[in-house]
């Protein structure tokens, strides 16, 4: 564990419309202190908190790790399913069941398969503190793809007990995000056992996968569901066009029909940024920040940030605080740029502290609290 550092370097707010992509401006912000609580992680992807204070960490390289009493257990959790580790593929999310204290279940998302045939899977298993048992695969995206990219993989439980999962378009299959006969480029909604809820928006519609809740997504890696069941997500655009969206049942989010981004060649993907029947983002970025996770701050430690979104950015490497008022974006603040690293995840702990995961072969967990 490293010494606590105090920072006044957060960069500040700007006033913006709900669709603004204007860069954040420098301004004073809430002073905070940081502490590295774990390091030496292999591309950490997600952090989750169990009711007893245990912290779970996933590494893209395929390991599930445990922190107890502020210390990282050197032995990875046993029984984790094999993952397809290539490029963006690997072990993604870990989320405890809402009734974990009773059933001991955790849920994992991960890439499975081989170079010419791989997909995002979700499995659940019992966790006894050291190992996973009774592992059961409850969902696999379809069709299988031949690319190691755009998996999605973010999991969140809704208040009604259903499970939401983000799924990417597979990179080379972007037109499939408009094809509801498969799950590429969608958000799916499942029961806790992987079955399909009877009230999903496309249940009974011929030729449409009943798991689909929304579609027209590119590479969604952020997902947050509020206590009243409102669903938000963020997703990567290509060159520009990263988005935060309010997710509605059955809605089309436009990829690749409408986008604020360009292809990596510089070519236009679509002549449209808006299109009839396509939902508008509540926030977009040009140029890209590569949004990798989404958290809504609801704690007490950073009172000024309560009700705002925190977005982990891989490029150039910071966290964006998106200032929300009455469901509208009114400003943006750049945080933690002084870490000098790609940021994969940011989560609020049970005590209101922030836990920030840096991306890379020597990934870190950094705990952030206000200056006393």
Question: Which residue in 309, 316, 314 sits closest to 354, CA to CA?
Answer: 309
Q: pLDDT digit string (tens) for 332-372?
A: 999 999 999 999 999 999 999 999 999 999 999 999 999 98
Contact predicate 120/167, CB 8 Å: yes
* pTM to 2 decimal places: 0.94
Q: How far apart are CA 18 and CA 58, in angstroms?
A: 33
DSSP state of 338: G
Q: pLDDT digit string (tens) for 180-200?
A: 999 999 999 999 999 999 999
Report the half-sphere exposure of 25 (CA within 13 A, side-chain side): 7
Q: Which residues are paired to 228 by β-bridges?
A: none
Q: How far apart are CA 150 and CA 289, in angstroms?
A: 16
More confident residue, 257 or 27: 257
Buried b (16+ CB within 10 A) or exposed e, 53-88: ebbbbbbbbbbbbbbeeeebeeebbebbeebbbeeb
Q: pLDDT digit string (tens) for 271-292?
A: 999 999 999 999 999 999 999 9
> What would the mean pLDDT of 19-34 be, rounded to a whole number?
63
Query: Looking at residue 29, what is its pLDDT?
Result: 72
Average pLDDT, the chain: 93
Contact predicate 259/269, CB 8 Å: yes
Q: Which helix or strand (DSSP H or E) is residue 101 part of?
A: helix 100-103
Query: Looking at residue 24, what is its pLDDT?
Result: 59
Query: What are the residue ranges of helices labelled H in the chain?
Result: 100-103
Catalytic residue among 97, 112, 150, 236: 150
Domains recognised in the chain with CATH numbers: 77-281 (2.120.10.30)
Query: Looking at residue 9, what is its pLDDT?
Result: 45
Greatest Cα pair distance, the chain, in angstroms, is: 59
Q: Which helix or strand (DSSP H or E) is residue 103 part of?
A: helix 100-103
SS3 177: helix
Q: pLDDT digit string (tens) for 31-51?
A: 999 999 999 999 999 999 999
Q: pLDDT digit string (tens) for 230-264?
A: 999 999 999 999 999 999 999 999 999 999 999 99
Q: Which helix or strand (DSSP H or E) is residue 39 part of?
A: strand 32-41
SS3 15: coil
Q: How far apart are CA 232 and CA 282, in angstroms?
A: 10
> What would the mean pLDDT of 143-172 be, rounded to a whole number?
98
Q: Which residues contact 290 (CB under 8 A, 6 or more apart)?
A: 236, 242, 313, 314, 315, 342
Residue 359: φ, ψ to 5°? -90, 145
Q: How far apart are CA 8 and CA 26, in angstroms?
A: 12
**In the predicted model, is pLDDT for residue 10 greater than 70?**
no
Query: Given pLDDT bands bounded at 50, 70 and 90, which one contains residue 8?
Result: very low
Report the half-sphere exposure of 50 (CA within 13 A, side-chain side): 23
Active site residue 150: yes
**In the predicted model, is pLDDT for residue 64 greater than 50?**
yes
> What would the mean pLDDT of 53-67 be, rounded to a whole number?
98
């Amino acid at each position: 564990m490293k010494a606590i550092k105090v920072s006044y370097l957060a960069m500040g707010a700007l006033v913006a419309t709900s669709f603004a992509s204007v860069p954040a401006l420098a301004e004073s912000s809430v002073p905070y202190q940081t502490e590295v609580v774990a390091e030496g992680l292999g591309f950490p992807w997600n952090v989750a908190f169990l009711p007893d204070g245990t912290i779970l960490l996933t590494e893209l390289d395929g390991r599930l790790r445990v922190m107890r009493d502020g210390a990282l257990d050197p032995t990875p959790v046993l029984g984790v399913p094999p993952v397809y580790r290539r490029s963006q593929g690997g072990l993604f999310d870990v989320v405890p069941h809402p009734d974990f204290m009773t059933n001991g279940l955790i849920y994992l998302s991960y890439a499975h398969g081989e170079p010419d045939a791989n997909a995002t899977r979700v499995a659940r298993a019992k966790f006894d503190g050291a190992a996973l048992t009774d592992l059961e695969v409850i969902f696999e995206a379809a069709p299988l793809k031949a690319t190691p990219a755009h998996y999605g993989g973010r999991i969140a439980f809704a208040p009604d007990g259903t499970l939401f999962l983000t799924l990417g378009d597979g990179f080379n299959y972007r037109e499939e995000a408009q094809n509801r006969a498969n799950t590429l480029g969608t958000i799916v909604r499942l029961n806790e056992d992987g079955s399909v809820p009877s009230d999903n928006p496309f249940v009974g519609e011929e030729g449409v996968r009943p798991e689909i809740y929304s579609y027209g997504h590119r590479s969604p890696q952020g997902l947050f569901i509020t206590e009243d069941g409102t669903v938000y997500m963020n997703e990567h655009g290509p060159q520009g066009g990263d988005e935060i969206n309010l997710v509605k049942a059955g809605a089309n989010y436009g990829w690749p029909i409408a986008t604020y981004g360009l292809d990596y060649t510089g070519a236009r993907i679509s002549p449209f940024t808006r299109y009839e029947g396509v939902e508008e983002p509540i926030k977009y970025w040009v140029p890209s920040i590569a949004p990798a996770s989404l958290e809504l701050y609801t704690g007490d430690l950073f009172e000024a940030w309560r009700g705002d979104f925190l977005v982990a950015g891989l490029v150039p490497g910071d966290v964006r605080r998106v200032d929300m008022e009455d469901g509208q974006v009114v400003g943006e603040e750049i945080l933690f740029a002084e870490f000098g690293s790609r940021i994969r995840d940011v989560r609020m702990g049970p005590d209101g502290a922030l836990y920030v995961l840096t991306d890379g072969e020597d990934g870190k967990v950094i705990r952030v609290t206000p200056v006393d």
